[in-house]
Chains A and B, each alone.
Chain A
Amino acid sequence: MSGNDILAVEHLSMRFGGIVAVNDLSFTAQRNRITALIGPNGAGKTTVFNCITGFYKPTEGSIRLTREDGGFRQLERLNDFRISKLAKVARTFQNIRLFPGMTALENLMVAQHNVLMRASGFTLLGLLGLPTWRAAERDAIERARSWLDRIGLLDRADDAAGNLPYGDQRRLEIARAMCTEPALLCLDEPAAGLNARESAALNELLLAIRDDYDTSILLIEHDMSVVMEISDHIVVLDYGVKIADGAPRAIRDDPKVIAAYLGTGDGEEIVAEGVS
């Protein structure tokens, strides 16, 4: 563990009533790396995500995000929108949450809200149509256009997001998160429901985000072809507890991980569904 950690989760616990979804979890994610969080259904992965991105307040523990200049933010003390605005953590959702009645372009414009809000003088200057605002708007459109180009949706920029095919919606959601210019991008099952070709394109996109945009990625994924191919580091959860932590090759051969996924032969156990 070096000083190059972007995210350090320490002794994180999350309880819902009597159900312990995450129990004393500690792990780190390194800057400009792709860290994968894997585990069987109900292992508590999404709960961890919701704690990091401020949708849940952790019962215990600390989540520290370190900036490149060494400054840091304790994420468990920020509430939801500030995590994206101040700490620069963006996320996507397991069941895509685009703005279906807005166009692809508008979706990416909404993501640049805070920048544009300042540029529009908190609406007043924008209402008067000052040139500084117009320039800022042009820049925002340009950024949106470059992202649409990058994910191959430029020709569908003016179509409603709800009308796009599933795979395109997944990519658009990632592009939307990237438009907030995050330091850490959290992706909740980005490959779910994608076919092999789309999945390969996704891998390429994620690697490009890591290498070209100076963004670290934390990723939940079930699709092992994605996880093994692009992850630099893997954290394995089971029943809310970390059971393994290491490079993809090491994880693949870890007997505890194999047991968690395939069962140990002592019968089926009912997993407490404490996560959404």
Chain B
Amino acid sequence: MTAPSSQLPATHSSGIAFILKKAFISACVALILFSLMIGIRTLPNESGQLTYVTRFPQLAAMVAIVFGGSIVVELLRLWWGPVDTARVIPPSIQSALDFGGRLIAPALLIFALLVPVIFYQQRYILDLAILVLTYVMLGWGLNVVVGLAGLLDLGYVAFYAVGAYSYALLATNFGLGFWECLPLAGLLAACWGVMLGFPVLRLRGDYLAIVTLAFGEIIRLVIVNWQDLTGGPNGISGIPRPTFFGIPLVPGDNGFAAKLGIPFSPTHRIVFLFYLILALALLTNWVTIRLRRLPIGRAWEALREDEVACRALGINITTTKLSAFAIGAMFGGFAGAFFATRQGFISPESFTFQESALVLAIVVLGGMGSQLGVALSAFAMIGGFELFRGFDQYRMLVFGIAMVLLMVWRPRGLIGHRAPTVFLEHNRAIAADLVKEGRG
């Protein structure tokens, strides 16, 4: 909770008296907000009745922090001038960043390929890298729907869930292997994408938002309640681990290590999983980049820019929207199948609205439509999230605060400009403020 933003012109907001006054007001507001919530802690007593204890020192500390923080923010504001991103990043640095930007993607790719080599001994980092890549893939998948087609989807996690449960159920009930299930999981998720797409064809903006959200919740609630099939809240365990194209990554004579004649190590599987998700994510990226240059991808972007004009040009809005939903969902399904095989256990808890919000935050913070931006923001978000592993109960709090601050700082995301899909002479990026975000 920082200080209220100034509504006065910068010239008026100078002077120590003014800063102190603002800080004092902020502190007063903080006192009102926190007096009951922080100053009083409700607790059950021995007989189970609710009573309370006071925590005035903590309250005083919080109010003091707000007072101090407010002064700091005001001073920073004076120092920087009015907050505005153009000032925060001067043009010279911006152009240097743009130049650097061309090198970032290949550099990141090489780094990603080398991660298992560099961090072979650090299981924790490998696990984290797999998690980051899973979110990169989800972000790229959702980017097709939100970033390119401009259709707001608050229930993307549903397709992730469909993919995960498809694999888990097919593998545990019919004994199918990962490589047979992967396309099936993607296909099933794509079908669900089309199923979601049909009712929402005519919906716009916030109606679309609530229906996709409701759809995600319906899928989750059905998974929770259909106990015979899904095991309900207990989930499904014993999901088969992936094999190296048929060779299991286990100790023993049939195992991958034995066939290669090297000693068995559990890290082999982690490394294999890492390259598996990296390949899946890169496939997503390649297909998306390819699609953008095809008529279907251009139609998605045109749809985002102006639906009426699309109709006047003879573009079938229905199939265009449905294809965006289906392809986004398919990638979500792939990621879900990977998630299931990696965890070996899935339950509805992994598919809550928070996941959808997280993936959407990754896409928007990345800069809608930008593949590199999405990858960077997935890295930043999941990595940042991981830093707070030790402070579990503060984790979501900090995540929420970060989301608010990041949006206020860069509403168009890290990479807001758009790269054209085709050019005659110059491949010039298009400024963020020209690119529409879609009404869907």
Contact = CB atoms under 8 A, between A and B. Distances in A.
The answer to whether A and B touch directly, with their CB atoms under 8 angstroms apart, is yes
Interface of A: 53-55, 80-85, 90-91, 93, 97-103, 105-106, 109-114, 116-117, 120, 123, 126-127, 129, 141, 145, 154, 157-160, 162-163, 176-177, 180
A102 B420 contact: yes
A103 B420 contact: yes
Contact of A110 (B302, B430, B431): B302
A158 B434 contact: no
A176 B313 contact: yes
A99 B428 contact: no
B305 interface: yes
A126 B309 contact: no
A54 B287 CA distance: 34
A81 B291 contact: no
Contacts of B299: 110, 113
B312 A158 contact: no
Contacts of A81: 310-311, 313-317
Nearest to B428: A158
The 10 closest A-B pairs by CB, nearest first: A84-B314, A101-B435, A85-B314, A99-B305, A116-B295, A162-B434, A97-B309, A80-B311, A126-B294, A160-B430
A106 B421 contact: yes
A21 B418 CA distance: 42
B422 A109 contact: yes
B298 interface: yes
Interface residues of B, number: 39
B413 to A, nearest CB: 14
A110 B308 contact: no
Nearest to B430: A160
Interface in B280-314: 287, 290-291, 294-296, 298-299, 301-302, 304-306, 308-314
B308 A97 contact: yes
A189 to B, nearest CB: 15
A238 to B, nearest CB: 27
B436 interface: yes
B313 A180 contact: yes
B292 to A, nearest CB: 10
A99 B314 contact: no
A46 to B, nearest CB: 13
B302 A158 contact: no
A158 B427 contact: yes
Contacts of B420: 102-103, 105-106, 158
B319 to A, nearest CB: 9
B301 A102 contact: yes
A91 B190 CA distance: 35
A91 B426 CA distance: 30
A113 B422 contact: no
